[in-house]
Amino acid sequence: MSRTFKNLLVTGGAGFIGSNMIRYLFERSGFEGRVINLDALTYAGNLESLAEIEDRFGAGAGSGRRYFFEKADICDRAAVERVFAEYAIDAVCHLAAESHVDRSIHGPEAFIRTNVMGTFTLLDVARNAWRGRDDVLFHHVSTDEVFGSLGDTGYFTETTPYDPRSPYSASKASSDHLVMAYHHTYGLPVTLSNCSNNYGPYQFPEKLIPLMVLNMLEGKSLPVYGDGKNIRDWVYVEDHNAAVWSVMRNGRSGQTYNIGGENEWENIKLLSVLIEKVAEATGKPASDYEKLIHYVADRPGHDRRYAIDCSKIKTELGWKQDHDFASGLEKTVAWNLEHKDWIDHIRSGDYKQWVEKNYAKR
């Protein structure tokens, strides 16, 4: 029988995957309970991504309110305990993290703090709040990067040994181990998913796809790391979120599920497709964008290839991808063209003031 929840805590709900997850929960999942979005609003968190949800299901919904936002740090134990008690949390979808590999190379400390200590704090609060209950669930959203780097062949499965190679992936691997340790040691009901590269609307423009699209639109250089032949497996964010929800509803406690696009691309080949899509959308010749490509110094420790075997979630839970790459990229390019304000805002200092002004009113 599928699990049902009443009060679902989504951490990192103002980020890229989290805001899409909350939209998915309200618009597509059939979930009927309350969503509590707990987010510290770091540089990567943006409440504007959820303005419509706030109007329809938050303060704007009056007594039928089902969406709540709590600005808090997952490392702040007292704040997390208060939220668990105040909303009678019975499920967690844990997405909050420092998520950008390049930033982890320049400043690893924030990654250890949030990804390791923050996950530990959430787990420990859940353990105390849920003692002995089996009608609750802690779902941890993780990455395929914990498995390290593949050669030309093979796939990551759920039993591939962990071999993280960047401070980001090491911090995520550590958080995955803590989640499983809390399950085995304390009996905490948990599920875990390891997903490949996501793309789609509301992605912070430091990640490859939105960065390249915006640089094309602004006539800036397109920086390709190393020889451009590193391979990533791309999945549309809504397909990832549907997979996470199917694991939360029907996945076996204590189990890990791999999620991927079955859609491998060399970075440089992906960039040519992206150039075609941007050229179609803007009506400019592709050559205008091709001349912006610049090969730059490689990322230190740059993993060569990621590729996910997601047969477990497909056979056990019946999940599959609903978006092909061509249509997913077209939607993503169109979204970036239509949301210049969102992009300008998140890149400028105005955003902080917007939160203070607008959020204080709610």
> x/- contact string, 112-131, with ligand NAD (CB under 6 A)?
--x---x-------------
| Beta bridge partners of residue 91, listed in sequence order | 8, 137
Q: Among 7, 8, 9, 12, which residue interacts with ligand NAD (rule: CB under 6 A)?
A: 12
Taking the complex as a whole, how short is the minimal distance between the CB of residue 66 and ligand TDX, in angstroms?
28
**Element (H or E) spanning 102, and its range?**
helix 101-106
73 binds, among ligand TDX, ligand NAD, none (CB under 5 to 8 A by kind): ligand NAD
Q: Give the residue nearest to ligand NAD (CB).
A: 15
φ and ψ at residue 191, rounded to 5 degrees: -135, 160
Assess contact for 92 and 34: CB atoms under 8 A: no
Pairing between strand 264-266 and 231-236?
Answer: antiparallel
> x/- contact string, 222-251, with ligand TDX (CB under 6 A)?
-xxx----x-x-------------------
208 scored as a contact of ligand NAD (CB under 6 A)? no
- Of residues 148-207, which lie at the interface with ligand TDX (CB under 6 A)? 197, 207
d(Cα 356, Cα 350) in Å, to the nearest integer? 10
145 flagged as catalytic: yes
Catalytic residue among 48, 145, 238, 303: 145
Distance linking the first and last C-alpha atoms of the chain: 38
146 scored as a contact of ligand NAD (CB under 6 A)? no
Q: Which residue has the tokens 């999940």?
A: 319
Catalytic residue among 144, 238, 239, 303: 144
Q: Which residue has the tokens 């075997």?
A: 309
267 scored as a contact of ligand NAD (CB under 6 A)? no
φ and ψ at residue 295, rounded to 5 degrees: -80, 130
54 flagged as catalytic: no
158 flagged as catalytic: no
| Beta bridge partners of residue 93, listed in sequence order | 10, 139
Assess contact for 42 and 74: CB atoms under 8 A: no
Q: Cα 149 to the chain's mean position, in Å?
A: 20
110 scored as a contact of ligand TDX (CB under 6 A)? no
Catalytic residue among 67, 87, 168, 351: 168
Assess contact for 34 and 67: CB atoms under 8 A: yes
Taking the complex as a whole, how short is the minimal distance between the CB of residue 164 and ligand TDX, in angstroms?
11
Taking the complex as a whole, how short is the minimal distance between the CB of residue 219 and ligand NAD, in angstroms?
26
d(Cα 170, Cα 109) in Å, to the nearest integer? 12
Q: Among 9, 14, 93, 242, which residue interacts with ligand NAD (rule: CB under 6 A)?
A: 14
Q: Report helix, strand or coil for 4.
A: coil
Residues that bind ligand TDX (CB under 6 A): 99-101, 143, 145, 197, 207-208, 211, 223-225, 230, 232, 267, 299
Residues that bind ligand NAD (CB under 6 A): 11-12, 14-18, 39-42, 44-45, 73-75, 95-99, 114, 118, 141-143, 172, 195, 197-198, 204
- Mind telling me the catalytic residues? 144-145, 168
